[in-house]
Amino acid sequence: MTGTEGEVGYYGRPVIKEPAWIWSVPAYFYAGGAAGAAAAFGEIAELIDRDRYGELARRCRIISLAGTALGSGLLVIDLGRPERFLNMLRVFRPTSALNMGSWVLVAAGASTTGALLFPKSRALAFASAVAGLPEAGYTAVVLADTAVPIWQGTRRSLPPLFVASSAASAAGLLEMARPDPGSRPAVRTFGFVARIAEVIASKFFERDARRVARVGLPLERGLSGSLWKASQIASLAGLLLSLGKGEGRFKRALAGSLSVGGGLAGRFAIFYAGFASARDPEATFQQQRADV
């Protein structure tokens, strides 16, 4: 329906409601994602050479457990009370991304704790990695499973972006933690591949968001636009640093910090872009007409 002065919607009002989530949700997306990627990388490294990469795997699991615990706490902050999180575990609903995500968090936390307490258990280490894979990117499915135009329109490119960004952030955290000399080449390679994947995935995400011009506007203006630009600059700078010569401590720490900051800014940019997109009735109608 068209309102006054050519506005789209009912008197220019939003067609859909803004999400009810608060700031802790994108922080939870980030913490859980990095935790999942770290768990998966640690298991892969240990499978390649347990003697050489045993300490690296242990550090990965520490990061994973810390990120999962922090992410769970941030989710509880959004829910308001801890029992609401427990209530989400009363059912097992494969058709609900949010419900499945709650079970992934529990499985990741339990298996990673077990892998740290019993480092010789291959079953627990493998379970931690298996839970870490969906933990790294399932939150993108939670966003895509909404009517928010920019999230729904990027439903194919958003999960790969979240996974790549989570991997880059996990590598950044390892670099900032000063990996032991024997594991530095592995961390460097992991970070390099993850950063390239993140930069490429972000371009596919932008392409999908801009298939309908109005839908992609939040990536260009306002708070979400500023955060997105900052994220892209930080991620690209981290990649360029990792391409350069030298293995200095400062360089590793700076590259790691840029990846961590870029990934965090990216999560908040996508989160707030969703709010701006939901407030724009024209974005909703244009996306529906384009059928993308």
Residue 35 is assigned to a structural domain of this protein = yes
Residue 5 is assigned to a structural domain of this protein = no
- The CA distance from 81 to 276, in Å, is 27
- Enclosing domain of residue 183: 17-290
Residue 84 is assigned to a structural domain of this protein = yes
Residue 238 is assigned to a structural domain of this protein = yes
Q: The whole model's pTM is what?
A: 0.92
For residues 133 and 104, the answer to whether their CB atoms sit within 8 Å is no
DSSP code, position 221: S
Domain count, the chain: 1
What is the chain's percent helix, strand, coil content, to nearest 5? 80, 0, 20
Residue 120 is assigned to a structural domain of this protein = yes
- The CA distance from 33 to 48, in Å, is 23
What's the 3-state SS for 237-278?
Answer: HHHHHHHCCCCCHHHHHHHHHHHHHHHHHHHHHHHHHHHHHH
Encode pLDDT of 155-192 as tens digits. 999 999 999 999 999 999 999 988 888 899 999 999 99
- The one-letter amino acid code at 48 reads I
Residue 260, domain CATH = 1.20.1630.10
Tens digits of pLDDT across the chain (292 residues) = 444 334 455 566 788 889 999 999 999 999 999 999 999 999 999 999 999 999 999 999 999 999 999 999 999 999 888 888 888 888 888 888 888 888 999 999 999 999 999 999 999 999 999 999 999 999 999 999 999 999 999 999 999 999 999 999 999 999 998 888 889 999 999 999 999 999 999 999 999 999 999 999 999 999 999 999 999 999 999 999 988 776 778 888 999 999 999 999 999 999 999 999 999 999 888 888 876 6
- The one-letter amino acid code at 195 reads R
- The CA distance from 108 to 287, in Å, is 36
First-to-last alpha carbon distance for the chain, in angstroms, is 21
CA dist list (Å): 203 to 157, 261, 286: 9, 18, 22
For residues 65 and 109, the answer to whether their CB atoms sit within 8 Å is yes
Q: By three-state DSSP, how is residue 152 classified?
A: helix
Listing DSSP states for 93-147 in one string gives: -TT-HHHHHHHHHHHHHHHHHHHHHSTT-HHHHHHHHHHHHHHTTHHHHHHHTSS
Nearest to 287 by CA among 158, 153, 154: 153
Count the Cβ atoms, other than its own, within 10 Å of residue 78.
16
Structure tokens, 286: 């244009």
Residue 154 is assigned to a structural domain of this protein = yes
Residue 3 is assigned to a structural domain of this protein = no
Encode pLDDT of 44-59 as tens digits. 999 999 999 999 999 9
Count the Cβ atoms, other than its own, within 10 Å of residue 70.
17
- The CA distance from 62 to 154, in Å, is 32
The pLDDT score that the predictor gives to residue 5 is 39
Count the Cβ atoms, other than its own, within 10 Å of residue 191.
27
